Structure 1
Amino acid sequence: MDKKTSFVLYPADFLAAVHNFKKSQIADLIIALCEKNFYGDVSFKLSDPVKKRFSLIQETIEKNNAKYLEVREKRQASAKQKNSKCQAKSKQSSNKEQANVPTSPSDESENESVYVCESVDKDKGTEVVDKPVYAGAPTVDDVTAYCQESGYTIDPAAFVRWNEERGWMNGKKYIAVDWKKAVRKWFCKENGIAYSEMEMLANVCSDVLGKVKEVQDG
């Protein structure tokens, strides 16, 4: 099982946990959480108040990560099962067609068939058409990679499918180019989080870490 090195901080919970902290304590807490989840250990000693908050938040992170990995494994197993069924169906279809379609020596080379796994009902005569291409729109793999990197626990396939069905339009706005922001908003909606609060916390964390880095580099 791959180790998940990213994690999510819920704005309301985190702000409540550090409401009486100094900026230096907040910086220690954030760096400790990053080191623990990336390196597996904290490289410096924490004060008692910070250590207490660290333990509570880290416990929540580990529970969320365990749930995320469990869901990911189930999705991967489901995808493999669907792929196996699809390949089996394609093979059966190809064998049936080869048995029913006679070939002559003169056209054998022209009757080599390429079988594609598809869910089209041939009895209904459904035509396969090319999917429309949306400029800047991500693939499911793109969204999956971003979610794994940033810790957003959404269903990438559902996200892409829902937006493709709407032409990547949110009202009159085309959102494919700024799809990462759409992912964050999707995550907030699923988890009952105000998007503005999450963005504010991200800016605060970025500012604190930036100042810490300046001090370390100086």
Structure 2
Amino acid sequence: MSETKAPEETRVVAPVDPTRRTEIDKQRVPMSARPYRLLAMVKQDAVVRVQKEPDDTVMTWPHLLSIEFLAAAVMSIFLLMMGLFINAPLEELANGNVTPAVAKAPWYFLGLQELLAYFHPSVAGVLVPTFAIVGMMIVPYVDRRDIHATRPSQRKTAVVLFSLFLGLALTLTFLGIFFRGPGYSFVIPYLPFFENSTNGLHFAL
């Protein structure tokens, strides 16, 4: 019994009319008629590629450490000069039987101490610092607008609010440093600045 093979399909390609040219064919320019040539140089890579390190780096020593040593020396000389020429005597030994006068806090706490002169201790010493710290912690989670802003002009509200907060803190600290005297009373500072006068400038280092 012989098997019958299915006839193979034959495809006939229609001849292309050489006189028929499209708009694209008309715009093509033969290579021989072009006045320029395109050349490209291909560099041969190694079998194992080595990652190139940046060329704009320098060694830590002496480029960085020498600057840090110089800055430390300048700051040490500055502190030594302040200790020699600024009158900041020590007080007498602490006596538990005598209640001292109101002392001034360090400069970074003078803003809170200045608030104590205007508000109740529970407000100025507990509520205000707590709200300030918690508020700064939750700001990144609340302020989700303009996450792609890169300029201060694009976040005017945030810049204005922070400027007010910073200005208030600096004002309170400035008042506590220069306008508070013995017993934390309000005084007007005058020259000379570096004398330990009872009516002059009072500050705590």
**TM bucket, shorter chain:** under 0.3
Give 1 or 2: higher helix fraction: 1
TM-score, length-scaled by structure 1: 0.20
**Of the two structures, which has the highest relative contact order with CA contacts closer than 8 Å and spacing of 6 or more?**
1
TM-score, length-scaled by structure 2: 0.21
